[in-house]
Structure 1
């Protein structure tokens, strides 16, 4: 059987409810709101929505997964408050915590990451990826729910950031737009290996830097400059920059 007919045979046997994407979008938004306002009348509808999603995904232990997930809400909120404080402490354009909660796309992406990551570590299939792809579409920030991210994580601007599944980011890390923490190869046989880099404490990574490889570590207290391409480990307390010559000279007559 060729690939086309094999895939078609699977589709005939299993009807995929692609409309579930809209259900997950609404669930994810309401979950974010609940984490911050904790209205008790919202909890039961959230639970029902989760169980409906689990049923659509043929998950048999949805209630147990939800109960464990709900038990982690306070811990997740505490981590998010630390993330928000990191934004206010570092970003001169952000004046208040309220501004972070209401108007920072990076913080929104981190919030959904922390929620989806909890479901990921509970081995909930598909839903964590759907949640992360929802917020990816809203913010342009692609954080795989399998990534491990420590406290006080700050994403500035954020558009174009990619953080791969096996990335490890320690505490007090700051990342700017366009940064990629990726794999150096894309092969299916590598799926159970560490494919993405480790970023140690107190590292700042500026715009459009690319760091590739699962055996790569960026040492603590280092600064990675804009536009660098890194495929080897960086010692702690390092400054890594990309040098290029920029010439500035007067225009000649007639040259635009």
Structure 2
């Protein structure tokens, strides 16, 4: 087994691991995917009581059910937010003595936003039910539809992102991405009554702005056209580079819309269309059939 010692020695050389090693400071390790999975599961039980978590939730036991979950969420999520903040402090070589206090304040603000979060999700559930003739009821969309799973994770993550939480929001949206194939960046802005039909392969970029009553189908990409670099040769991050999709737009399967373009209100974008320009309100953009000019 002498070869093992040689491999261990080589893997322990600082030059080998320094770019892929996280050294925790102040006893704050990396966020835990397992714990965040529990947090999201408990949030789902709070937002959709009876569908997730304990199935036998009556009106008389609702307060206990929600209160028990929220107490656990508060403790787990505060710790995870603290870990996320410390991760950034370590990466940027900053003092993180305020991370714990900030994590508690942020978690409180997040929990206070849950009634509004549920209101938004109710509109998404109704969009899924009303937009899919195959849906037998809103409950089916809550329990079965990948769109509702992905959008629930997105709305949770987006609220944390808006509150300035690093790392955690991306972990939460990537959970849904892995489960559904729907990739929504937590920084995107999405209005109420939003539905992704089928969903697999849908991509929504960081700076997308999506209005109310928008419907997307599978394989839709709302992406960036280019990635500008600064004088130092590094990518310029955070600039608006993804589409603006106004109220009432429908984008059919396989369509690709790139860059900071605007798709006007009530426009319809056909399947497999490639767009890098603005589309006026009410316009129908269709792929030219083969053999036609």
Q: If the length of structure 2 is used for normalisation, what is the TM-score?
A: 0.78
| Pairing 1:238–2:283 present | yes
Work out whether 1:42 is the aligned partner of 2:81. no
Decide which structure has the larger Cα Rg and report it. 2
| 1:251 aligned residue | none
Counterpart of 2:40 (choices 28, 31, 39) is 28
What's the counterpart of residue 192 of structure 1? 238
Q: How does 1:94-109 map to 2 (within 5 A)?
A: 94-109=135-150
Cα deviations across residues 199-248 of structure 1 (Å, max 9, x unaligned)? 0110000001000002x0001111000001000000111010112328xx
Give the one of 246, 266, 272 matched to 1:221.
266
Q: Tell me by how many angstroms 1:89 deviates.
A: 1.3
Whole-angstrom CA distance in 2 between matches of 1:204 and 1:9: 44
**Counterpart selection for 1:8 from 18, 22, 41:** 18
> 1:150 corresponds to which residue?
191
- 1:85-120: CA deviation from partner (whole Å, max 9, x where unpaired): 111112101120110110111111111111110000
Matches within 5 A, 1:127-146: 127-146=168-187
Aligned residue number for residue 90 of structure 2: none
Greater mean alpha carbon deviation, residues 17-26 or residues 226-235? 17-26
- Give CA-to-partner distance per residue, 1:170-223, whole Å, 9 cap, x none: 011000000000001135533131010000110000001000002x00011110
Pair 1:236–1:50, CA change in 2 (3 A)? same
- Write out per-residue CA displacement over residues 17-67 of structure 1, whole angstroms, 9 at most, x where no aligned residue: 567122222221221222222621111111111022123332331110011
Q: Which runs of 5+ in 1 are unaligned?
A: 247-256
